[in-house]
Amino acid sequence: MRSARRSKRLALALVGTLAVARATLTVSTPAWAGSSATQASASTELSQHDWTQLGKIQAQHSVLGIADTGAVLRLPAGASAGEKAKVEAQLPADAHTVVRTSRFSQSQLDRIQKTATARDWNSDADKYGLATTYDATTDKVIINTDAPASVTRALAEKYPGALEVRQARLESQRTRFGDAQPFWGGDALIGSEGSGAASCTAGFAVKQKATGHLYMTTAGHCYGLNTHVYSRGQNNGWGNWVGQVTRRNRDIDTELIQNTLTSAGYDSFIFTGGLASSGATHFVHGTESPSVSRKVCVSGSVSFNHCGHPISNTSYSICYSGGIDCIKNGQGFLYDRGGTYPTYNNGKLTQGGDSGAPIYTTDDTDSAAWIVGGHSGLIYTSSGACSCSVPHMVGVSEYAIVNNLGVSVLTR
């Protein structure tokens, strides 16, 4: 499992460096490209007067772009020596700006950026965010996206050497308190039909192996069977209808919500914002079994996203008082309060309403999640070392959900 995860991380790392695309650039220069760019050294900081003058030059001479340091000004491909001389004569004396000719004409640059944002170069491309800009320093089109390398490779190969793909997080300000179909994990949920105002958190999307039906997980103690579940606003009001609880397993404190009106009600993203107003997300790229000392994150609708929690027990069983909801047969795990020097235990804890929240790990790109489990509750145990009660957060392992309910975690 861990070795497969490492290979997936490597694939994601290629998004930021575009190592695959760069390795295939030993080809003849295509018709749309011109001479290669020569990077200039960074300039000193420009004055407002200098930037105003560069802006006038850009408008007068069809300049493609100016480096954010002001060190490079790019004329379109095919610009004459006379045009270049005119621009150089108008440069501010203290700007230290060099004039270069781009490999692109304006129409070529427009076409590349239009193709990129059309997102029809891969069947999954429109599932991810993407932004483009032209970088005058490198003379490349910069693609900022949260898509993995397997998706962006087709675009990079279409314009070899012309693009630089960079991993980014794009926020539309869609939040866990304002989610809409297809719903994502980490969403704030509230039930009806006898469950009162009880609220929990959506976990992650799963797919029934036998039928292909999609479900959203949450904690089994949250709602009753057949309960209709809605998204929750910050004032606890009801929002969009998310689905209906159609399956429960009270031996692993897990239930499944199904959108009975459509087959595409859920998607493989989880909200990971640290604030109520944040639309930050991770896409689910895989799963990871709990292991001692592995540090995990949890993204709840009350305490929001927090990380650095070390797993301290990977075979835990618990039954809560006042009900029949349990995690039996060692299918649970404990993860503890993380923190910073000097106490190392001063981090956040989950709170009421976080039940069901996705527990996950991430990688250096901080855009993809590997599901470790779903949040269940808290337990306080006595500690002889400090004669005090020590809190532990309780999770149900992803493999327990997968094996007991015959589902697979929805990934991309």
What is the pLDDT of the chain when averaged over all its residues?
83
At 144-164, the pLDDT tens digits run 888 899 999 999 999 999 999
Q: Measured between alpha carbons, how far is 184 from 151 in angstroms, rounded to an integer?
A: 20
CB-side exposure of 20: number of CA atoms within 13 Å?
A: 19
Beta bridge partners of 199: 190
CB-side exposure of 24: number of CA atoms within 13 Å?
A: 13
Task: Supply angle C-alpha 13, 18, 22, rounded to 5.
Answer: 140
Can you give the pLDDT at residue 37?
35
Q: Which two tokens stand for residue 118?
A: 């059309």
- Residue whose pair of structure tokens reads 């939040």 in the numeric block: 175
Secondary structure of residue 290 in the 3-state scheme: coil
Beta carbons of 282 and 294 less than 8 angstroms apart: no
High-pLDDT (> 90) share of the chain, %: 50
Q: Measured between alpha carbons, how far is 372 from 90 in angstroms, rounded to an integer?
A: 60
Can you give the pLDDT at residue 165?
92
pLDDT average, residue stretch 380-386 = 70
Closest CA to 304 of 368, 362, 358: 358
For residue 257, CA distances in Å to 94, 206, 214, 292 come to: 64, 10, 9, 30
Amino acid found at 379: I
User: CB-based contacts of 68: which residues, under 8 Å, 6+ apart?
Assistant: 137
Instruction: Indicate the range of 228-232, 260-264, 334-338 predicted with least confidence.
Output: 260-264
At 336-376, the pLDDT tens digits run 998 766 666 778 999 999 999 999 999 877 889 999 999 99
Q: Measured between alpha carbons, how far is 235 from 340 in angstroms, rounded to an integer?
A: 32
User: CB-based contacts of 270: which residues, under 8 Å, 6+ apart?
Assistant: 184, 185, 186, 204, 281, 282, 284, 299, 358, 360, 369
Q: Measured between alpha carbons, how far is 186 from 251 in angstroms, rounded to an integer?
A: 22
Beta carbons of 326 and 320 less than 8 angstroms apart: yes
Can you give the pLDDT at residue 84?
94
Name the packing angle between helices 149-158 and 106-118 (round to 10°). Answer: 150
Secondary structure of residue 84 in the 3-state scheme: helix
Q: Measured between alpha carbons, how far is 252 from 266 in angstroms, rounded to an integer?
A: 22
Closest CA to 204 of 249, 269, 260, 148: 269
Q: Measured between alpha carbons, how far is 221 from 24 in angstroms, rounded to an integer?
A: 53
Q: Measured between alpha carbons, how far is 331 from 376 in angstroms, rounded to an integer?
A: 12
pLDDT average, residue stretch 289-310 = 93
pLDDT average, residue stretch 68-95 = 92
Q: Measured between alpha carbons, how far is 411 from 11 in angstroms, rounded to an integer?
A: 15
Give residue 234's pLDDT band: very low, low, confident or very high (50, 70, 90): low
Secondary structure of residue 48 in the 3-state scheme: helix
At 103-135, the pLDDT tens digits run 999 999 989 988 988 889 999 888 887 778 889
| DSSP letter assigned to residue 40 | P
User: CB-based contacts of 162: which residues, under 8 Å, 6+ apart?
Assistant: 32, 33, 103, 104, 112, 140, 141
Backbone angles phi, psi at 55, to 5 degrees: -65, -40
Give residue 175's pLDDT band: very low, low, confident or very high (50, 70, 90): confident
Instruction: Indicate the range of 66-70, 82-86, 304-308, 395-399 predicted with least confidence.
Output: 66-70
Can you give the pLDDT at residue 18?
26
Beta carbons of 280 and 272 less than 8 angstroms apart: yes
Task: Supply angle C-alpha 309, 311, 315, rounded to 5.
Answer: 150
Q: Is the pLDDT of residue 284 over 90?
A: yes
Closest CA to 86 of 56, 107, 66, 65: 56
DSSP string, 90-158: HS-TTS--EEEE-S--HHHHHHHHHHHHHT-SSTTGGGS-EEEEEETTTTEEEEEE---HHHHHHHHHH
High-pLDDT (> 70) share of the chain, %: 82
